[in-house]
Amino acid sequence: MNKQNKIMAQEKRRAEREKQQKKDKVVKQLKFWVPIVAVVVVVIVLIWAVATSGASSNNGTQDTGAATETTSGTEDTSTLASETDTSAQTLDTEAGTVAENGDKVNIDYTGYIDGEKFQGGSTDGNGTDLTLGSGSYIDGFEDGVVGHSVGETFDLNLKFPDSYWNSDYAGKDVTFEVTLNGVYK
C-alpha cells in the first residue's frame, strides 16, 4: 500500500508540475503580448483621434447661424476650399497690420440685436477665419473689416437681409463687435 501511495503522490506532483508549467507559459505569453496589444490600441486611438479631429473641426470657420448668409446654412464649397487651406500661411498678429479686401483674416465677434447678445452670433473667443470679399457673411460685414488693423476692436452696425435664412433675424438691425486677431500672409 505504501508503494501505491508513493506512486499516487508522484503522479499528483507530476500533474501539479505540468499544471504550473502551463500556467507559467500562459503568464509568460501574457507578459509578452499585453504590452504589444496595449501599444497597438494606443496607436489606433491616436490615429482615430487625429483623423476625426480633422474631419469634425470647423476647418477654421464657424457657422454661427447669424453672421453667415446662406440659404441652406452651409457655405459654398469653393468658399470653404479657399478659406480652409491655411497650412502654408502664417497668421500675422503684429499690431498695425491692416486688413485688405481679398485677405484671409482671423476675427472674433459678438453680435447684438436690440442690445442683447443673440444665440449663434458669436465666436465665443475661439476666433474664425474669413476671406474678405468672399461674400460668405451678411452684406457689409466683410467690407466693414477691411481697413482695420490687427488688434483693433470695432463695431459694425448692419442689418440682416429680409430674405435671411433664419427668419428670427431677417430684416433686423444687428451690431457686431469685432476684433481683428490677425491677417494671414
Q: Which three cell numbers stand for residue 38?
A: 496595449
pLDDT digit string (tens) for 103-119? 999 999 999 999 999 98
pLDDT digit string (tens) for 69-82? 433 333 343 344 44
pLDDT band at 54 (very low <50, low <70, confident <90, very high): low
pLDDT digit string (tens) for 123-174? 999 999 999 999 999 999 999 999 999 999 999 999 999 998 888 899 999 9
Predicted local distance difference test score (pLDDT) of residue 85: 52
Q: What are the percentages of helix, strand and coil residues in the chain, rounded to 5?
A: 35, 25, 40
The DSSP H or E segment spanning 50 is: helix 2-56
Predicted local distance difference test score (pLDDT) of residue 80: 43
The mean pLDDT value of the chain amounts to 82
Predicted local distance difference test score (pLDDT) of residue 79: 41
**Residue with more model confidence, 79 or 85:** 85
Predicted local distance difference test score (pLDDT) of residue 87: 59
Which of 17-26, 53-62, 88-97, 103-112 has the least mean pLDDT? 53-62
Q: CA–CA separation, 182 vs 185, rounded Å? A: 9
